[in-house]
Amino acid sequence: MEKPFFQITTEGQFQDATERAIFNPELYWEDIAKTFRWRKRWTDIQSGNLTDVNVKWFEDATLNITENCIDRHAETHPDKTAIVWEPNNPDDTVKKFSYAELRSEVNKMSNVLKACGVEKGDRVCLYLPMIPEACFAMLACARIGAVHSVVFAGFSANALRDRIKDAKAKMVITSDGLIRGGKKLLLRNIVSDALEGCDSVETVLTIKHTGDNVQTNHLDKWYHELKENASAQFEAVEMSAEDPLFILYTSGSTGAPKGVVHTCGGYMVYAEYSFRNVFQPENDDVFWCTADVGWITGHTYITYGPLLAGVTNVMFEGVPTYPDCGRFWAVCEKHKVNQFYTAPTAIRALMAAGDDYPKNYKLDSLKVIGSVGEPINEEAWKWYWKYVGKERCPIVDTWWQTETGGIMISNLGILGEQRPTFAGRPLPGIHPVLLDPEGNEKEQTEDTIEGLLAIKQPWPSMIRTTWGNHGRCRAVYFTPFLGYYFTGDGAKRTKEGMFRIIGRVDDVINVSGHRLGTAEIENAINEHDKVIESAVVGYSHDIKGQGVFAFAICEPGTNSEGLSEEISEKVIDMIGKIAKPDHVLIVEALPKTRSGKIMRRILRKIANGEHDNLGDTSTLLDPNAVEAILAAIKD
């Protein structure tokens, strides 16, 4: 397969692309967009701006993204493997789908969705394990023009219900069960709990996967039954470039999770552009991203990016530690993986299991190894470099967000200096800046400067809106600094232009690469009938990056036995296991300012064990609160 011109492979091309993108961004992206299959080309390349929060790309063009992910490859290389599915249990059968088979699978599912009454513009909620049908379902939605909203299958019934309601989903696609490592979850039963009060849902389409008996009702259809008579032909629906492609919910510092909206045209262009440039795939390369389809990484670098580029894509059902801590390396050897993309939390967990695991496998197919989700610490970076990449594979430390749609700052395969803890330079066409708190762009007055990370110019896969609430999108991302997209991260930049991401500057914590709003966890804790008030902060955790530390004030006279566990259960129930607090401390009072604001700075220090260095506490309403908390910790 031929590489498109925009896959940059030399430093000279990199410099040239960067300059062209600065000189004329519209022409830069137009040339790239021309390599895709459109039904109708655009007259206007880009309109709107960051200040007015009305950016549009290729607005009057039409297309269907699945013709680019599937048909153009099924026509030129039908027999090439598109998806290799590796099951949870290494002894179970691997499934492979060629591009031609992918086309007929997606067409059949498109016909089934259509027969169930799903139409262009309808929302479909996906609550699925890591099975090929998860990709087929995303693509089938895109093929018929429905908007998918994938909800990570680790979220609880309550969290699923909130997301179904917010999007007013017409259909939920799920499976009977999910199996990861030694654990099984009956997803269809969780959906039953979630559906209470969800009037918009007309059909629950269930995929038979584990074969377990599950509760069904009058809304149910079994996918394998409907698929039997479904045609393998389906004419993709013509979409406007700015029609929504999907909604993906993510946490922020306030309120309920918000539905980030991405659109068909711009997202497509940037997904393939970033995928090719960062991972540098060649002809018959095999790519593997270990994320779950429930996160943006699984959207852009499992489903869309690799298939747009026409590569062979590994999809893995299981976990890195099952049946043992060598599983990732066993899968790399088994499928001769060339590009491998995972998260620092997994690297740290496998590093803790010892060097022998990677040593026991043949990893010589690897060419580029990647990291995403949180800053990768130097120790983990070095281990990854030495034991996985064998000191010959470049590491791409990729910074981006649900809202950016694709990787923004990273080395491009071999290009860029290998420097642990530095993500590297922005991709050509991306213009990050560092701001001071007043919103002034910082100049490079020293070798390394630090500031708030913001993006200065529209890019094709940027967030368009938050579902059903454009004001919230404006307020969260575009109002803090007028004329910029604000990331919520702090960063450093060297005089060579390399970025090092420091982490969130808002009340968002990053647990195992998953974003959690502290306010959201507090809301869940406050649902416990004995809790009066709570405060949640992140603290530094060896494996997870950050852990969740909760402080709770309970009604006077509450029997505290078992209370911490009950509070944790409440969080699992309201959000899911990923948000479970590592510590719940029952306290008498919280440190507050005279105006009643909780001083999180002090709680963060306490949670991080910095008890002797709490800083200025003189503005506290009740200085004894801190003493009481420290005493409670010692108990």
Chain residues binding ligand WT7 by CB under 6 A are 250, 296-297, 372-375, 397-402, 423, 487-489, 501, 503-504, 510, 513, 515
**Closest distance of CB 376 from ligand WT7, Å:** 7
Helix, coil or strand: residue 583: strand
Nearer to ligand WT7, 100 or 160 (CB): 160
- What phi, psi does 311 have (nearest 5°)? -90, 180
Contacts of 513 (CB under 8 A, 6+ apart): 343, 344, 345, 372, 373, 374, 545
CB-based contact 350:322 (threshold 8 Å): no
Nearer to ligand WT7, 241 or 296 (CB): 296
Query: Which residue's Cβ lies closest to ligand WT7?
Result: 402
Nearer to ligand WT7, 423 or 473 (CB): 423
Nearer to ligand WT7, 25 or 420 (CB): 420
Residue recorded with tokens 């993709």 = 236
**Closest distance of CB 410 from ligand WT7, Å:** 7
**Closest distance of CB 317 from ligand WT7, Å:** 20
CA distance 427 to 294: 25
Q: DSSP letter for 156, please.
A: -
CA distance 282 to 302: 17
**Closest distance of CB 421 from ligand WT7, Å:** 9
Nearer to ligand WT7, 64 or 487 (CB): 487
Residue 330: burial class (beta carbons within 10 Å; 0-12, 13-18, 19+): middle
Nearer to ligand WT7, 28 or 270 (CB): 270
How many residues does this entry show for the chain?
635
Q: Which of 284, 312, 286, 288 is nearest to 301 (CA)?
A: 288
CA distance 307 to 315: 12
Q: DSSP for 416-472? A: S---TT--BSBPTT--EEEE-TTSPBPP--SSEEEEEEEE-S--TTS--EETT-HHH
**Closest distance of CB 353 from ligand WT7, Å:** 23
**Closest distance of CB 123 from ligand WT7, Å:** 20
**Closest distance of CB 461 from ligand WT7, Å:** 12
CA distance 520 to 256: 7
Nearer to ligand WT7, 521 or 552 (CB): 521
Token code pair at residue 549: 């530390």
**Closest distance of CB 561 from ligand WT7, Å:** 36
CB-based contact 478:430 (threshold 8 Å): no
Cis amide linkage into residue 320, ω under 30° from 0: no
CB-based contact 413:280 (threshold 8 Å): yes
- What phi, psi does 62 have (nearest 5°)? -130, 155
Nearer to ligand WT7, 237 or 407 (CB): 407
Nearer to ligand WT7, 321 or 421 (CB): 421
CA distance 77 to 31: 24
Token code pair at residue 246: 């999907």
Q: Which of 204, 178, 210 is nearest to 191 (CA)?
A: 204
Nearer to ligand WT7, 67 or 374 (CB): 374
**Closest distance of CB 406 from ligand WT7, Å:** 9
Whole-angstrom Cα Rg for the chain? 24
CA distance 579 to 525: 11
- What phi, psi does 3 have (nearest 5°)? -80, 135
CB-based contact 412:280 (threshold 8 Å): yes
Nearer to ligand WT7, 195 or 343 (CB): 343
Name the β-bridge partners of 452: 435, 490
**Closest distance of CB 297 from ligand WT7, Å:** 5
**Closest distance of CB 476 from ligand WT7, Å:** 12
**Closest distance of CB 604 from ligand WT7, Å:** 16
Nearer to ligand WT7, 338 or 487 (CB): 487
Nearer to ligand WT7, 458 or 513 (CB): 513
567, HSE (Cβ side, Cα atoms, 13 Å) = 30
Residue recorded with tokens 């896959």 = 7
**Closest distance of CB 343 from ligand WT7, Å:** 8
